[in-house]
A and B are shown apart, each in its own frame.
Chain A
Amino acid sequence: MHNHEQPSPITSPFFTTGTKILFGIMSLGILAYLYRMFYGLGASTNLDNQYPWGIWIAIDVASGVALAAGGFTTAALAEVFHKEKYHVIIRPALLTAMLGYTFVVIGLLADLGRYYNVWHPMAPSMWQGNSVLFEVGICVMIYLTVLYIEFLPIVVERFKGRVNFPGTLKSLNKITESVLGIADTTLKRVTFVFIIAGVVLSCLHQSSLGTLMVIAPSKMHPLWYTPLLPLLFLLSAISVGFPMVIFESILASRSFHLPPERHVLSSIAKYVPILLTIYFIIRVLDLVYRDALGYIFTFDGHSIAFLIEMSVGVLFPIIMLFNPKVRRSMMGLFVSATAAVIGVAINRINVFLVAYQPPYGNGSYFPSIFEIAVTIGLISALVLVYRTLVRIFPVISVDKTAHEAEMANPMHRSHNSGWVTK
């Protein structure tokens, strides 16, 4: 029934007012990034000995990893559980995850004092199996590789049968085609290995990111400190996977003037309130068990941060998305999915920054202008690279019948890049 929906490169123009603004923000981000590289963390950030971690860890790394969870939740649903109707969202979710993790690494490099030593965890002589961060690092690195491998078939599909090098390179056409042919058949046979590996690796490092702060019990506010943090991080990552897919799918269809995948988005949305309710119940039971409920209504900074996190990110989407009417409305879906996405980001910020109370803290941490510029610059860059790649590769499924009505003008379709013919 969805046979007419095939992933294909998007034909919308690259430059719009929106992309121009994003370019501006990205440029500022690049300048701030260079400033950090030349002048160091002291000059560019508000980090100090009391607050060694800031938004580059809480947002760029921790939230980035959580919000890239759409990749593995979608893969689990559509490919492990073979729910065929969800196939149209696999590729966008995969691309988001791949770019998400890539930008996590770029963000991390800004934060590392000795970024050029980032390869050290891979050297067996320096392996440190007791370190939670070691596990996160290794899993993220392998998973990033797996994501690129999972994306390879899309690259092969784009070029197979269309290789057309110009001029003297013509002699390479045949051999390139045969390489692509072999790659195509091999990849088709082995992708399942990587798909499952991706899900397992995600479960491992999503939860281990939560374990990170378990090592600082005396420095963490009781509303967030629990040995269950790994479970809570895993559950919230799984819960935010589909909201993230909904969020970006609706944004993309608006931006590219495509009809939204109404049916599919409404359908995956029904899992979200169930997952969030499970998360909510465990979260509350844990607070009861640790006798921390009393901190919720003290209405100091921590209590307010907690209340915002839970009401925006958990309760609001639960109430909205249990309602079938909301799930059928694109506006309703978008608003609730956005709330869930923001909620997980707030949770990561709360766990890594707000809950962190150094014993001799005086003053508090607030990000510098450079830290903010790098963070929003990375987000802008991610959107721009995403936009570039979906115009080159068959990622987004286009309902041809509906789309062609919209794009009646054939001029829209003449954007082929030089060495590829359709």
Chain B
Amino acid sequence: MDKSRRKFLSTAAVATASASMLATTGQASERLEHNQEELFSVLVDSTACIGCRKCEYACNKTHELNDNPLSFFEDRSVLQERRRPEHDAFTVVNAYKDARAKEGEAYVKVQCMHCNDPACVSACLVGALSKDRHGPVLYDAWKCIGCRYCMVSCPFQVPAYEYQDAVAPRVRKCNFCTERIHNGERPACVEICPNEALMFGTRKEMLDVAYGRMSANPDKYDKHVYGEHEVGGTSWIYLTHAGFQAAGFPVLDVQSPAEITENIQHGIFKSFLPPLALYGLLGLIMHASGQKEDSEDSKNA
């Protein structure tokens, strides 16, 4: 009996272990099926950003986050604060050290990166987050149960929560001005940008522009287009001079985290076979050990 018990445990263990192994050996799947022609992108050229915060103003206005006038955003002191997107500010501009730039600092706009293979979309258990074929990662508050697993999963720490709302709190983040781009317009922040620090186009075009600027001005740019490959690629991509780490971006793997968990998940649930096999195995053991018990009872009797 001891043996069969241990056997069960080891089988269960092996089953899970092999499912986990699938995760690490799983091929770089056909996950990135986006049609590159219709996948939109914004190129943020941090070397061209002057820290005017007009993008913040346009964003707040478009998404009706507040009524602050443009003059409110002319306060440049907040640039030093390394702010993060909040439930009432989907995009923020931060300053960072850059020896090449005037006054020794450059600026970078931060918002949802709109990953090609978003961890938040994979994490959400009710499909409240989804990836639009044009690139935006969208949130449907009606479906949301408020578990905040999307926030846990986001490698860029972007989604913000309306903690102050006791009744119907929402996850809040940039939606890539999805209505505007579906109408053929550019996102509000791109439209207002006075210095071509923000450029909107298909992802392929934006990558071409990025590499074009890089080769035209090799001294001006760090050789890394941030977001081209990070976590499977993002819709928003960045050029910097001082490097993406100086600009405050995390070092990330090229594999999307969603791929790791989904491989484990689908390994365990492959056509429901592993659970059914475990069920059958336990059924057999229950039957066999029950009969053994019976025969022992009758012997004893």
Contacts and interface: CB of A to CB of B under 8 A. Distances in A.
Interface string B98-122: 0000000000000000000001001
Interface in A105-159: 111-115, 117-118, 120-121, 126-135, 137
Nearest to A271: B5
Given A47-B163, A120-B126, 14 more contacts: A40-B164, A42-B163, A53-B152, A112-B147, A113-B161, A114-B145, A199-B278, A199-B282, A208-B265, A217-B253, A217-B257, A227-B264, A356-B152, A360-B157
Interface in B255-269: 257-258, 260-262, 264-265, 268-269
Tell me whether chain A's interface is mostly helix, strand or loop, or mixed: helix
A132 B157 contact: no
A235 B13 contact: yes
A83 interface: yes
B65 interface: no
Contact of B293 (A82, A120, A207, A278): A82
A131 B148 contact: no
B126 A48 contact: no
A140 to B, nearest CB: 12
Nearest to A42: B163
Interface of A: 37-43, 45, 47-50, 52-53, 76-77, 79-84, 111-115, 117-118, 120-121, 126-135, 137, 192, 195-197, 199-200, 203-204, 207-208, 211-219, 227-228, 230-231, 234-235, 238, 275, 278, 356, 358-360
B124 A228 contact: no
Given A53-B152, A132-B261, A120 B145 contact: yes
B144 A228 contact: no
13 contacts: A39-B166, A80-B282, A80-B286, A81-B4, A117-B126, A121-B126, A195-B286, A203-B278, A212-B152, A215-B257, A218-B252, A227-B260, A231-B17
Interface in B234-266: 248, 250-253, 257-258, 260-262, 264-265
Given A40-B164, A43-B166, A120-B126, A77 B5 contact: yes
B103 to A, nearest CB: 24
Contacts of B282: 76, 80, 196, 199-200
B265 A52 contact: no
B156 interface: yes
A204 B275 contact: yes
B199 interface: no
B169 A40 contact: yes
B211 interface: no
B126 A81 contact: no
Given A203-B12, A218-B250, A81 B265 contact: no
Contacts of A45: 163
B96 interface: no
Contacts of B293: 82, 84
B153 interface: yes
Given A53-B148, A126-B143, A135-B269, A230 B5 contact: no
B155 interface: yes
B82 to A, nearest CB: 7
A76 B250 contact: no
A217 B125 contact: no
Given A134-B125, A360-B157, A200 B275 contact: yes
Given A227-B23, A235-B13, A113 B146 contact: yes
Which residue of B4, B149, B253, B278 has the most chain A CB atoms within 10 A of its CB atom? B149
Interface string B185-229: 000000000000000000000000000000000000000000000
Contacts of B252: 218
B84 A360 contact: yes
Contacts of A133: 123-125, 147, 149
B165 interface: yes
Given A115-B146, A132-B265, A227-B24, A52 B168 contact: no
Contact of B279 (A126, A200, A275): A200
Contacts of A113: 144-148, 161-162, 165, 169
B125 A128 contact: yes
Contact of B123 (A38, A132, A195, A218): A132
B119 A216 contact: yes
Nearest to A206: B16
B13 to A, nearest CB: 7
A301 B290 CA distance: 50
B2 to A, nearest CB: 9
Given A115-B146, A211-B265, A196 B279 contact: yes
B124 A227 contact: no
Contacts of B268: 204, 207-208, 230
B168 A114 contact: yes
Contact of A81 (B1, B163, B278): B1
A112 B122 contact: no
A82 B8 CA distance: 13
Which residue of B127, B162, B269 has the most chain A CB atoms within 10 A of its CB atom? B127
Nearest to B289: A82
Contact of B283 (A121, A196, A238, A359): A196
A131 B146 contact: no
A194 to B, nearest CB: 12
A359 B157 contact: yes
